[in-house]
Structure 1
């Protein structure tokens, strides 16, 4: 007789969570709002950067440049979060 334990497959069961479809739609809506706000912030900060640079206001240029970088970072993190979660769900189903 072997004393090794039996190993069974362990898989994520996303459907077992009550209201999973509602949760998915809420998260999708939040990510959409984040991307829209990041794009609007990018447009406003880029325009501010251009106007401030044209008028020689270097303090405002620095603030606007920081805003552009934050907007790009927020959009990248929102997109990377979706990609990371999809990767982990796919990885979990193959274990």
Structure 2
């Protein structure tokens, strides 16, 4: 007869877990700040392309705004996404 194995995340199993959480939070903050900077830079490129009648530059600016906004959404939703897939994995 096989025994059921039950393993849960251990938040105090290794030293430095609290510091690691702090580091991950700081990296998430840096990622969000860089995403805001990328949105601003891409919007400037988009405006310059539109103002100078350069469709290639305007298209690159539009793409940059969308990509930076997507990156911000992923950075903001990272914890929720990981928790969601953790719950999905636990139900398998």
Deviation at 1:47?
A: 2.2
Deviation at 1:80?
A: 2.2
Give the equivalent residue in structure 2 for 1:47.
44
Deviation at 1:89?
A: 5.9
2:46–2:58 CA contact under 8 A, matched in 1: yes
1:67 paired to 2:64: yes
2:45–2:60 CA contact under 8 A, matched in 1: no
- Tell me how far apart the structure 2 counterparts of residues 10 and 48 of structure 1 sit (CA, whole Å): 50
1:12–1:89 CA contact under 8 A, matched in 2: no
Gaps of 5+ in 1: none
Larger radius of gyration: 1
SS in 2 for 1:14: coil
- Tell me how far apart the structure 1 counterparts of residues 83 and 18 of structure 2 sit (CA, whole Å): 16
TM-score by length of 1: 0.76
Cα RMSD between the aligned structures? 2.4
Q: What is the number of residues matched between the two proteins?
A: 92
Deviation at 1:85?
A: 2.6
- Tell me how far apart the structure 2 counterparts of residues 28 and 75 of structure 1 sit (CA, whole Å): 14
2:48–2:57 CA contact under 8 A, matched in 1: no
Q: Which has the higher contact order (CA 8 A, sep 6+)?
A: 1
TM-score by length of 2: 0.78
